[in-house]
A and B are shown apart, each in its own frame.
Chain A
Amino acid sequence: MRKSLLLAALMLASIVTNAQNVLPIQYDTLLYKQEFILNGSVDYSSTSVLNSMSSKLLFGGAINDEIKTSSFDQHKGINRFGVDASAEFEYRNMNVNLFKNERYGFVVKAGYYNYVSTIYSKDLFGLTFFGNEQYLGGDADLSGSKFSAISFQKIGFGAIDKKSKSSLSLNYYNFSNYAEGYLNDGYLFQSESGDSVSLTLDGQFDYSGSSSFMKGNGIGVDLDYRFAVTINPEKSAMIQLQAKNIGFAQMTSNVTRYEIDTLLTFEGFTFEQLIGNSNVLDNGTSILDTLGIDSTSVTKFRMLPGYIQAGKIVDESSQQRLQGFFGVRLYTISTYAPLVFGGAHLRANAWLSVGVNASYGGFTRFRTGLYAQSTFKNMTIALASEDVIGLISNQGKGKSVILRLRYRI
């Protein structure tokens, strides 16, 4: 029981500390001495994989043929799947005057980010989950597939405008896991009887296999710039321009690069190859050689997986009970499609606000979300999901849970 509670607490902490989502950032003009903000999200989404399957992939369980087939039928030529499990803590101190300037306080932040994302062909899904038997007598097109799995951490320090709550921080990043790959061309041709296979592959896969936690260093910035736009003399809107984790990283541990550019036709080994003096069963490296896969050690310099977002945010001080918000987000991950979002925010009473939102893009297509926010004396708690259907239905294509805690003094 104690272990379960501890585990639940850890899970909650990881969720609580994440925020790459469309839960509306609220513009709060009140000046506090200090603020503690925890943002967390676990969000996985797909253009084609139903929750009945993705939940098994992520949380375990047997994926039977019915589950696989249901998702397979949802697939089109090119598909996306992504997991974003991230957490961030931010401390704002507006009691001090940074640079001896009364306008600026300082902000300290730390975060943990995990991205797994892929663009893939329907046939790659079919091969992975059904095998090649269903492609006998035909071909499977794997071209254009990409894969990326990155985990990194950051600590940052910056300045915050006490009035507008705009902030800018400079961050240091540590890469703890890194793997990326792509297939420019990939075709699998098989004879009807399965006794002949032709494989065309042109691709690359980079992988940092070091056991070290610190596999790379990076530097980047977070920018949160907020400004009011006058709509009419009696009405204005708060606009937020946000850039998060924009920068570069250099992998310090060696990255193993597997490259392949080959057209391979295989009809089977000869007996001499199987049972001769240097038989292929005794020599694993000869398989790589046979496939024409070159392995080299490379150093890697890459852009951080961050994003830029611009949009209208909710003004907490507004007298209007119903407000709209909207925006667009662009990630520096090539597997992430530009995301547009919008929604409506309703202040139900003094302590409770609720909202709905819709988005299109990212790792999926259209999604609808709900959120609720409770404001207490010193604390605000917000809970949201960007994918309500996914949260409750196996026919959804993702799940999203977002939590934000904000404590102020």
Chain B
Amino acid sequence: MKLKTGLLLLPLLAFFSCRKEKATWDSDWVAPLVSDTLSLKDYVNDSTIVESGGVYNLDLTRTIADFGIEDLIEIPDTTISQTYSIVVSSLSIPPGTSIVNQIEEHTIDLAPIELKKTHISQGVIKLKIYNPVAAKVYFTVQLPGVTQNGITFEQNYFAPAAVGSTPGTVEANLNITGYDIDLSGISGGEVNVLQSKLVINTDPLGSNVTVTNQHIFKVDAEFKNVKIDYAKGYFGTKSFSDTTTYTIDLLNGLTAGSIDIPASSIQLIITNGMKVEGRATLTKLSNTNALGSTVNLSSSLIGNPVYMDAATGNSWSYAPSSQTISLNGTNSNLENYIENLGNKHTVGYKVELNPWGNTSGGYNEIYASSRLKVKLKAQLPMAIGADGLTLRDTFDLDIQQDIEKSHLESGMLILNASNAFPMSSSVKIYLLDANGTTLHIVNGSAPIESSLYGAVDPKDGMLKTNSEVNFVLPENVLDDLANVKNIAVEATFNTPNPATSLNEQQAIPVGAFIAVKLKTKFVFKAII
């Protein structure tokens, strides 16, 4: 029986021996990864690239300094206080009687600025009136010289009676926005002088008011948060200097190579919208590229001040003056400077106003829209001759891959490009670990050809070339995929002339683009 049983069970044991390995198979997949079009349109008018004459220009124009009236003149919070008391020991004043005080002058501390006239764009006067007598009194506060549409600032207030030795008070906040202020005093020859006048009226419906020389009528007027948008006078000697840095992100990825650009120039343009004379000095101009190489612009013009005329005209039609410091290949090392492809530019300047003192006779003038601007201007035609110009950028990547489980076995990235730029590009992909160490370098099978090797597409009139570039990802590369934490894409640009194959300057036409379709073709090993 045992033998019979064994014979029956034997096939089962043989058939269902244990599973010694996993089932595996390969499958072939194709999937789109990227579909995008890169052009310079996104950069146009963002102050980096502009269109001019059918080609793109690299615009390095930047305003590096911009000053206005707020930078020159500041009105401090100022309190003027006017008091009045009778000269006799005691006086009984009938109802409805006016006691007129003389105009008083108050100097605002603005030195060395000497203002004759100004216009308030924003501000308030905080008034506080003190009534020392035991009867209500009407106060009229006048600020001669403070006018709006020709009407002098005047406010009337009823002040309650004093109680004992505590004066009756009244307070008010008055908006003086839009008022003109004449600071030339009663004589018209003063500067920084405010005027005030106080009129006291006894109550016309009241009884006689007894006033003694111990009663002091008082008004405090506090000018608070006053901003002006017009000033006339002498603004003093002012000096502005700074070293400022700006970046051109487009050039951040430079790693190697050189470019050749057409002759061009850089101008430092100073426009002066103030009726103030002065002088400006370019103290420094340098740039540093992504590789850390710095080029200082050297020229006899750097460090030497240029004279700035005052603006002319009036507030309705003033004409700023303009001065230009022009740097070019003949008076500087500009070509070296530009071809360094600096992404970080440093500009130092110094602007002085009234450097020779009050030579205008106190007739400096500044309007609301008056600006003193220092602008660095450089528009370089993007006729670039690139010779191995290499840009590189790095991106994070985190793809899990366990070769003991289902995984990508081998594959290929296939880049189809339609290139309307007159430059070719060879692309390399660096697979980096978490420390930035290069694990593998994947070279493109061919360059993306320059548009100059192609034909005009009648659809858009652009000269373009179609290229296919394969990036083979063999098994040993994909086996390392789990260790890849960053991917660096490096593109080396050249601008070959199709006739000579030599790199020459090529102008980038307006509308140039590169349309990219990247797909992946890979073998997937399933393991179950």
CB distance from A385 to the nearest CB of B (A): 9
Q: Select from chain B the residue with minimum beta-carbon distance to A5.
A: B13
- Interface residues in chain B, defined as those with a beta carbon under 8 Å from any beta carbon in chain A: 1, 4-5, 8-9, 11-13, 15-25, 27-36, 38, 393, 395-399, 416, 517-519, 521, 523-524, 526, 528
Residues of the B chain whose Cβ atoms lie less than 8 Å from the Cβ of A129 = 25, 27
B395 contacts A12, CB within 8 Å? no
A60 contacts B21, CB within 8 Å? yes
A134 at interface, CB cutoff 8 A: yes
Contact of A12 among B13, B519, B524 (CB under 8 A): B13
CB distance from A75 to the nearest CB of B (A): 16
Residues of the A chain whose Cβ atoms lie less than 8 Å from the Cβ of B395 = 274-275, 279
Contacts of A361-409 to chain B: CB distance below 8 A: 372, 374, 376, 381, 383, 391, 399, 401, 403
A168 at interface, CB cutoff 8 A: no
Contacts of A135-176 to chain B: CB distance below 8 A: 136
Contact of A194 among B12, B519, B523 (CB under 8 A): B519
A59 at interface, CB cutoff 8 A: yes
Q: With A61-B23, A268-B518 given, is the CB distance from A196 to B12 under 8 Å?
A: no
Q: With A15-B12, A374-B8, A381-B8 given, is the CB distance from A269 to B24 under 8 Å?
A: no
A270 at interface, CB cutoff 8 A: yes
Q: With A60-B19, A401-B16 given, is the CB distance from A130 to B28 under 8 Å?
A: yes
Interface secondary structure of B, over-half rule? strand
B5 contacts A195, CB within 8 Å? no
Q: How far is the CA of A62 from the CA of B21 in the complex (A)?
A: 9
Produce 1/0 per residue, A1-30, CB < 8 A to B.
000100110011001000000000000000
Give the number of residue pairs across the A-B interface with Cβ within 8 Å.
133
Q: How far is the CA of A391 from the CA of B20 in the complex (A)?
A: 20
Residues of the B chain whose Cβ atoms lie less than 8 Å from the Cβ of A401 = 11-12, 15-16
Q: Select from chain B the residue with minimum beta-carbon distance to A126.
A: B27
B31 contacts A194, CB within 8 Å? yes
Q: How far is the CA of A195 from the CA of B1 in the complex (A)?
A: 68
A73 at interface, CB cutoff 8 A: no
Contact of A134 among B28, B34, B35 (CB under 8 A): B28
CB distance from A298 to the nearest CB of B (A): 27
B32 contacts A267, CB within 8 Å? yes
A270 contacts B12, CB within 8 Å? no
Q: Select from chain B the residue with minimum beta-carbon distance to A8.
A: B13
Q: With A195-B35, A268-B34, A403-B12 given, is the CB distance from A132 to B18 under 8 Å?
A: no
B30 contacts A133, CB within 8 Å? yes
CB distance from A203 to the nearest CB of B (A): 20
Residues of the B chain whose Cβ atoms lie less than 8 Å from the Cβ of A57 = 23, 528
A282 at interface, CB cutoff 8 A: yes
CB distance from A70 to the nearest CB of B (A): 13
B396 contacts A372, CB within 8 Å? no
Report the interface size for chain A: residues with CB under 8 A from the other chain: 54
Contact of A281 among B23, B398, B416 (CB under 8 A): B398
Residues of the A chain whose Cβ atoms lie less than 8 Å from the Cβ of B11 = 383, 401
Q: Select from chain A the residue with minimum beta-carbon distance to B36.
A: A270
A195 contacts B23, CB within 8 Å? no
Q: With A374-B8, A383-B8 given, is the CB distance from A269 to B15 under 8 Å?
A: no
A300 at interface, CB cutoff 8 A: no
Residues of the B chain whose Cβ atoms lie less than 8 Å from the Cβ of A131 = 27-30, 523-524
Q: How far is the CA of A272 from the CA of B416 in the complex (A)?
A: 18
Q: How far is the CA of A272 from the CA of B42 in the complex (A)?
A: 13
Residues of the B chain whose Cβ atoms lie less than 8 Å from the Cβ of A356 = none
Contacts of A41-93 to chain B: CB distance below 8 A: 42, 56-64, 68
CB distance from A282 to the nearest CB of B (A): 6
Residues of the B chain whose Cβ atoms lie less than 8 Å from the Cβ of A381 = 4-5, 8
* Shortest Cβ-Cβ A-B pairs, 4 listed: A268-B35, A131-B27, A194-B30, A60-B21
Residues of the B chain whose Cβ atoms lie less than 8 Å from the Cβ of A274 = 34, 395
Q: How far is the CA of A240 from the CA of B8 in the complex (A)?
A: 27
Q: How far is the CA of A134 from the CA of B29 in the complex (A)?
A: 9
Q: Given contacts A12-B13, A399-B15, could you give 17 more A-B pairs where the C-beta distance is less than 8 Å? A: A4-B18, A7-B18, A8-B17, A15-B12, A59-B19, A133-B28, A194-B31, A195-B416, A195-B517, A268-B32, A268-B34, A270-B36, A281-B396, A281-B398, A372-B8, A374-B5, A401-B12
Q: How far is the CA of A31 from the CA of B21 in the complex (A)?
A: 48
Q: Select from chain A the residue with minimum beta-carbon distance to B489.
A: A275
Residues of the B chain whose Cβ atoms lie less than 8 Å from the Cβ of A232 = none
Q: Select from chain A the residue with minimum beta-carbon distance to B33.
A: A268
B38 contacts A271, CB within 8 Å? yes
A68 contacts B25, CB within 8 Å? yes
CB distance from B16 to the nearest CB of A (A): 5
Q: Select from chain A the residue with minimum beta-carbon distance to B22.
A: A60
Residues of the A chain whose Cβ atoms lie less than 8 Å from the Cβ of B1 = 376
Q: How far is the CA of A381 from the CA of B399 in the complex (A)?
A: 55
Residues of the A chain whose Cβ atoms lie less than 8 Å from the Cβ of B416 = 193, 195
Residues of the B chain whose Cβ atoms lie less than 8 Å from the Cβ of A59 = 19-20, 23
Residues of the A chain whose Cβ atoms lie less than 8 Å from the Cβ of B396 = 279, 281-282
CB distance from B70 to the nearest CB of A (A): 37
A195 contacts B32, CB within 8 Å? yes
Q: Select from chain B the residue with minimum beta-carbon distance to A127.
A: B27
Residues of the A chain whose Cβ atoms lie less than 8 Å from the Cβ of B35 = 195, 267-270
Residues of the A chain whose Cβ atoms lie less than 8 Å from the Cβ of B17 = 8
Q: Select from chain A the residue with minimum beta-carbon distance to B35.
A: A268
Contacts of A244-300 to chain B: CB distance below 8 A: 266-272, 274-275, 279, 281-282
A349 at interface, CB cutoff 8 A: no
Residues of the A chain whose Cβ atoms lie less than 8 Å from the Cβ of B526 = 128
Q: With A60-B21, A129-B25, A195-B517 given, is the CB distance from A268 to B36 under 8 Å?
A: yes
